[in-house]
Amino acid sequence: MTTDANDFDWSSVRSVAVFRALMLGDMLCAVPALRAIRAACRQARVTLIGLPWARELAERIACVDEFIEFPGHPDLPERAPDLRAWPGFCARMRERRFDLLIQLHGSGGVVNPLLRGWEARRFAGFFDERAARRGFADDAANRLFVRWPEEGHEIDRLLALTRHLQMADRGTGLDFPVDDADRDRITRIWPDLAEARGRYVCVHPGSQLPSRRWPAQRFAAVADHLAGLGFTVVLTGSAGEKPLVESVARSMQSNSVDLVGRTSLWTLGALVERAALVVSNDTGISHVAAALRTPSVVVSCGADTSRWSPLDGSRHRVLAAPVACRPCAFPVCPYGHECATAIEVPEVLAEVRRMLSPLAGHELASGDRRRARPEAAGRPAMPEEAVR
């Protein structure tokens, strides 16, 4: 069915499905577009179709009414596909006969043919020239589709579609709705939190891909410096990142609080919410910090910083080395991991001091007497050391 976005009253739509089967940071960057969809289709039931972890987010954010788990597909790398579930899943999608199916996943070369088989009454989304050359020119002709933006921040790329559909913006901020129950739970997990409130820093050395990780020993040097400034260092990460975080703790000379594998999505948010600062790789926790307006210093290894850095550059500082091979397409760097090793500890400490100076005293703005251990700051670590 062909629809002209300029003439259509979206408020008459009764069922909307939005497909975005990606990870935490990717999903948080989609919230502004989801808000615009929710406001335009105000009478509709809005269903998010995504990866299993996203159920928790969908249950909290006000712009989504329902969540459906995507079973994965061999052509999409974000999860191992459940091939036995695929036929039944597609049959259920066809039975739902959504009034509007919005492809908010990406450029569309892989997912558009998959989603077209769900037989929604209207199909909107992105397309690119590669898809058209492979025989999917219908997307380019569909007036509810827009060419995938190859440049710009991810939030603005996704809003390009809702703007094309004449859906008014409802802000570009991220949502991460922490509640009092989350705050109570994190206090039970770490009873000293109340006393340390505002005087602790979350150090998050992990990331989904090894190519996106700054060396563990350099995180340890930053953590030691923070401890020397009088801040409690809280190490965070998933259970699978425990060996990596343990290597950071072993390299530290100071004590730290180890909460690796002990927080849920929402208790992590409650922890970040009351932190003085987050120091991390360019990964999901940096977007949580942006949503909660907690200052952060982010080391970006391999990522496209123009696409993924927090929009508030005064509250969130991103360090990145301008190497020729970024943005990186490799899970593990096949070269010398220059995007990580080129960022030295003193560079990160300079941003840390700048962000913490209102809390820790004016002397930090010009440099504190305490220094990072020379051997930790100056020793270039190989990528495998950060992954160990």
User: Which tens digit of pLDDT belongs to each residue from 125-184?
Assistant: 999 876 555 544 456 567 899 999 999 999 999 999 999 999 999 999 999 999 999 999
Domain 10-164 fold is Rossmann fold (3.40.50)
CA distances from 301 to 281, 295, 328, 343 (A): 7, 19, 8, 9
pTM: 0.86
Contact 88, 82 (CB under 8 A): no
pLDDT on residue 4 = 60
Structure tokens at 240: 């699978």
pLDDT on residue 139 = 61
What φ, ψ does residue 265 adopt, rounded to 5°?
A: -55, -45
pLDDT on residue 330 = 84
From start to end of the chain, where are the E strands? 15-19, 45-50, 66-69, 100-103, 123-127, 145-147, 200-204, 232-235, 257-258, 277-281, 296-300, 316-320
Contacts of 53 (CB under 8 A, 6+ apart): 23, 24, 265
Task: Name the more confident of 326 and 156.
Answer: 156
The DSSP bridge partners found for residue 124 are: 102
User: What average pLDDT does range 209-220 have in this prediction?
Assistant: 93
Work out the pLDDT band at 70, boundaries 50, 70, 90. very high
The DSSP bridge partners found for residue 281 are: 299
Structure tokens at 181: 């129950």
Q: What is the C-alpha separation between 53 and 63, in angstroms, rounded?
A: 17
Contacts of 333 (CB under 8 A, 6+ apart): 210, 211, 302, 339, 340, 383
Work out the pLDDT band at 68, boundaries 50, 70, 90. very high
Work out the pLDDT band at 331, boundaries 50, 70, 90. confident
User: What average pLDDT does range 339-348 have in this prediction?
Assistant: 94
Q: What is the C-alpha separation between 31 and 341, in angstroms, rounded?
A: 33
**Continuous H helices in 123-264:** 129-133, 138-141, 154-164, 180-189, 193-196, 216-228, 242-251
Tell me: pLDDT of 371 over 90: no
Query: How many of the other CB atoms lie within 10 Å of CB of 121?
Result: 13
pLDDT on residue 363 = 42
Tell me: pLDDT of 315 over 80: yes
**Residue limits of CATH 3.40.50.2000 in the chain:** 10-164, 180-387
User: What average pLDDT does range 255-268 have in this prediction?
Assistant: 96
Pick the CATH number of 180-387 from 3.40.50.2000, 1.10.150.120, 3.90.850.10, 2.70.98.90: 3.40.50.2000
